[in-house]
Structure 1
Amino acid sequence: MQNERISSTIKILLLEDQSTTQKILAEVIASEQNFELLAVCDTVADGLRWLESSEPDVLLVDLKLKDGLGIDVIRACANRHPNCSIMVLTVSLDESDVNACIQAGALGYLVKEDGLLGVGKAIRDLVLGGSPISPFVMRRLLFESAKKYPRTVNADAADGKKIEFTKRELAVLSLIAQGLTYEETAKRLCISVLTVQNYIKRLYRKLSVNSRGQAVFEAQRRGFLN
């Protein structure tokens, strides 16, 4: 299903109230093959109205809009269109904002200061099943998790079996923890994107998680990441 979506047109809804950012993102989306910008909304109200009648493949949303918070649109989109992939694009580095967005249904979280030109690759990674997260945000989450939870090296799984990773699985885990996309990870390791996806599935299964953020969090807690 994901491969079908990546090979067909990816329909994108953008919620952003800054005209300069709107223009840059519109140009990035227009430059990508198979991308279609359905609409640009600059208010929560417009975004909610748009979602009532149409379903995007990807929702790009800022957290602070003219008339409210983007997280309200995230919740509405996740409830109404569960197949839509949601990614936050914001200036906020607040851990509470990151957690709230993930709980509301966001699968990606990018910080504008990291640059906007890489958004195209992030969208493709998102549609392929990844969870693009800015490296600085990921480091902060790992730092906070290290303070909250004791670190247990080579901890056993919940069913009592010891978790063991191959060298290649650990390499993939390390790279996604740094915020690399599936495509970037594939290039770094000289393997295909499909192979990376297969390694990710194994990691998820071994760690008993369902997303990149959860995988990195659990791997850090168990001592597999330095």
Structure 2
Amino acid sequence: MSERKAAHRGRVLIVDDHPAVREALALRIGRQSDLTVCGEADDTTEALRLLEEAKPDVAVVDISLRTGNGIDLIKRIRDRNDAVRIVVWSMHPEALYAERALRAGALGYVNKDQATDVIVEAIRRARRGEVWLSEAMAQRMLMRSVGPGGLEVARSPLDSLADRELEVLRLIGQGRRTAEIAEQLHLSVKTVETYRDRIRQKLGLPDGTRLTHYATQWVLENE
């Protein structure tokens, strides 16, 4: 490949906490004539370091990371360099996370149960500044945007949760104690307790035990 062609290949940063997943995607991208992997990371700290050092055109980000989470990382990438395009590639349900990811600054959301051809196409679209969503999710978001008198789309109770509240709920469902959640999210224990109470109220749950049961069941069904 000539230097000129190599210079025009889109530089892709892969951020995922599973080494095998990163390796598989890197191999797939490496077979493309117009794309190349410029770095891999498993957490927010390493991703932000590579953002400065590797100069990616596109970042592929998972929702769950070794430390931190994808939604927060998207916001931080956009704050540091809004020229970097971002695509989420995750096992988490797009019905719950895709709209949040786009609001944070991503240009696409791809479920990991889809063929790797799909994430490669989403990367290409993002590089051009275009949005990529599944047809079902695009229709769902369109229906939500319809004004009074239009078609209604049922919303999950979880839609009422802020991004940070949803992250706390996920960690509760993974069996993390309040102190552990506080440490992972760099928050005080009191702040996490406040989040727990807000989540419980928004979901209409009577007490902390029901909240833990709800969170555990949700994680079992979605992770």
Q: Look up the match of 2:149.
A: 150
Q: Look up the match of 1:119.
A: 119
Of all paired residues, the percent bearing the same amino acid is 27
Distance of aligned partners of 1:149 and 1:64 in 2 relative to their CA distance in 1, 3 Å threshold:
farther
Counterpart of 2:40 in 1: which secondary structure? strand
Structure-2-length-normalised TM-score: 0.58
Structure 2, unmatched stretches of 5+, are 152-223
Residue type matched to 2:55 in 1?
A: E
Q: Look up the match of 2:69.
A: 69
Counterpart of 2:117 in 1: which secondary structure? coil
Maintained 8 Å contact 1:89/1:110: yes
- Spell out, residue by residue over 1:153-197, the C-alpha distance to the aligned partner (whole angstroms, 9 max, x if none): xxxxxxxxxxxxxxxxxxxxxxxxxxxxxxxxxxxxxxxxxxxxx
Q: Look up the match of 1:87.
A: 87
Q: Structure 2 CA distance, aligned partners of 1:97 and 1:149?
A: 25
Counterpart of 2:74 in 1: which secondary structure? helix
Counterpart of 2:60 in 1: which secondary structure? strand
The Cα shift of 1:119 comes to 2.1
The Cα shift of 1:93 comes to 2.0
Q: Structure 2 CA distance, aligned partners of 1:141 and 1:120?
A: 23
Provide runs of 4+ in structure 1 moved above 6 Å.
none
The Cα shift of 1:96 comes to 4.4
Counterpart of 2:129 in 1: which secondary structure? coil
Q: Structure 2 CA distance, aligned partners of 1:64 and 1:56?
A: 21
Q: Structure 2 CA distance, aligned partners of 1:60 and 1:139?
A: 23
What is the count of residue pairs matched by the alignment? 148
Deviating more after overlay: 13-22 vs 49-58:
49-58
**What is the correspondence of 1:130-169 to structure 2 with a 5 Å cutoff?**
130-145=130-145, 149-151=148-150
Q: 1:30 aligned to 2:34?
A: no
Specify which structure has the bigger relative contact order, considering alpha-carbon pairs within 8 angstroms and separated by 6 or more residues.
Answer: 1
Q: Look up the match of 1:48.
A: 48
Q: Look up the match of 1:199.
A: none
Distance of aligned partners of 1:95 and 1:145 in 2 relative to their CA distance in 1, 3 Å threshold:
farther
Maintained 8 Å contact 1:44/1:67: yes
Q: Based on CA coordinates, which of the two structures has the bigger radius of gyration?
A: 2
Q: Look up the match of 2:10.
A: 10
Q: Structure 1 CA distance, aligned partners of 2:148 and 2:89?
A: 28
Counterpart of 1:113 in 2: which secondary structure? coil
Counterpart of 1:118 in 2: which secondary structure? helix
Distance of aligned partners of 1:149 and 1:8 in 2 relative to their CA distance in 1, 3 Å threshold:
farther
